[in-house]
Amino acid sequence: MSETHKTEIDKITGVETTGHEWDGLKELNNPLPRWWLYSFYACILWAIGYWVIYPAWPLVSGYTTGVMGYSQRADAIADYEAGMAERAVTGAKLVDASFEDIRTTPELLEFANANGAAAFGDNCAPCHGSGATGSKGYPNLQDDNWLWGGTIDQIYQTIEFGIRSGHDEAHIGDMPAFGRDELLTKEQIDQVANFVASKTGLETDAGADLEAGATVYADNCAACHGEDLKGMQEMGAPNLTAATFLYGKSLAAIKSQVTNPHNGVMPSWEGRLDPATIKSLAVYVHSFGGGQ
């Protein structure tokens, strides 16, 4: 690369060069278009006017406020406060209303569903999924398989107080660790797991003693899950004939659960969310279609 500073007239265009040349390419000294110059000058004037009229320059402990005293931040705060005040009015009506009143009052039902959807996305979706279909260890809220009941009142209680959350009114129902605590032998665990699997359409171990498994089940499991394996919601005992299992539907998963069960925890939202939001969540979750 070479660079020179000798001006000359370009033979092709007849325009004087700037005197700069790079690898044989010479820069023409063409004036800028007037429309471009006028636009540039207008932008400069606009910027100066903006600096004077609106907040623009940061200072040590603040910023210039401009002759209009306008503040987008103040406007945003005012809009937020106005929205919160309006929300508080409707929220108070929601808290005082029964679930039946909410269902039959369009204003309250619309508010509850909108507020519940926002709260679900912020607080519940990380576990139950954005579509509320759950995952392993986290219940699907769209089906009709409920551990503690799917009526709107039962959903409300579960949200407010949680499950094994430490709250005095939380649902509590722990499954014994039949293997870890040596309540059953490995052989008995295999027998009862195969028995349950046989009742749910799963493949069992070859030569499994299902009759012995039925006896083990009757002696140790029926008190919670019922003689028909349909579960008991008042105890949080799942339906063992359901299409899905919370911790996996396979013979191996059943054996694992009997041996060393998962006893999941759902937090209590009382004190974390305001009463209107908790009630909104109950209405919203119940609207998924799996409610009872």
- State both tokens at 262: 């998962």
Angle, vertex CA 262, rays to CA 261 and CA 268, nearest 5: 140
Q: What is the DSSP string of 48-81?
A: HHHHHHS---B-SSSB---TT---HHHHHHHHHH
Q: State residue 1's pLDDT score.
A: 47
**75-156+270-286 sits in which CATH class?**
mainly alpha
- Residue 275 backbone zone (phi > 0: left; psi -120 to 50: alpha; other: beta): alpha
- How distant, in Å, are the alpha carbons of 40, 43, 47, 189, 228 from that of 35? 9, 12, 18, 87, 86
Short-list 201, 196, 246, CA closest to 216: 196
Helix, coil or strand: residue 135 = strand
Q: Report the predicted TM-score, pTM, of the whole model to 2 decimal places.
A: 0.72
* Alpha-carbon gap, residue 159 to 139, rounded angstroms: 13
Distance CA 26, CA 60 (A): 48
Q: Tell me which residue has tokens 């619309």.
A: 110
Residue ranges at the known binding site = 124, 127-128, 175, 221, 224-225, 266
CA distance 149 to 235: 10
pLDDT at residue 292 in the model? 66
Q: Which residues are annotated as a binding site for heme c?
A: 124, 127-128, 175, 221, 224-225, 266
Say if residue 161 is exposed, middle or buried (CB neighbours under 10 Å; 0-12, 13-18, 19+).
buried
Domain locations along the chain: 75-156+270-286, 174-259
Return the CATH architecture of domain 174-259: Orthogonal Bundle (1.10)
pLDDT block averages, 10 residues each, the chain of length 292: 66 84 85 93 94 86 83 88 87 93 94 95 95 92 90 95 94 92 96 95 93 96 95 92 90 96 94 95 90 66
Residue 161 near residue 262 (C-beta atoms within 8 A): no
Q: Which residues pair with 37 in a beta bridge?
A: none
**What span, in angstroms and rounded, lies between the C-alpha atoms of 132 and 71?**
40
Please tell me the distance from the alpha carbon of residue 282 to that of residue 98, in angstroms, as a whole number.
Answer: 12
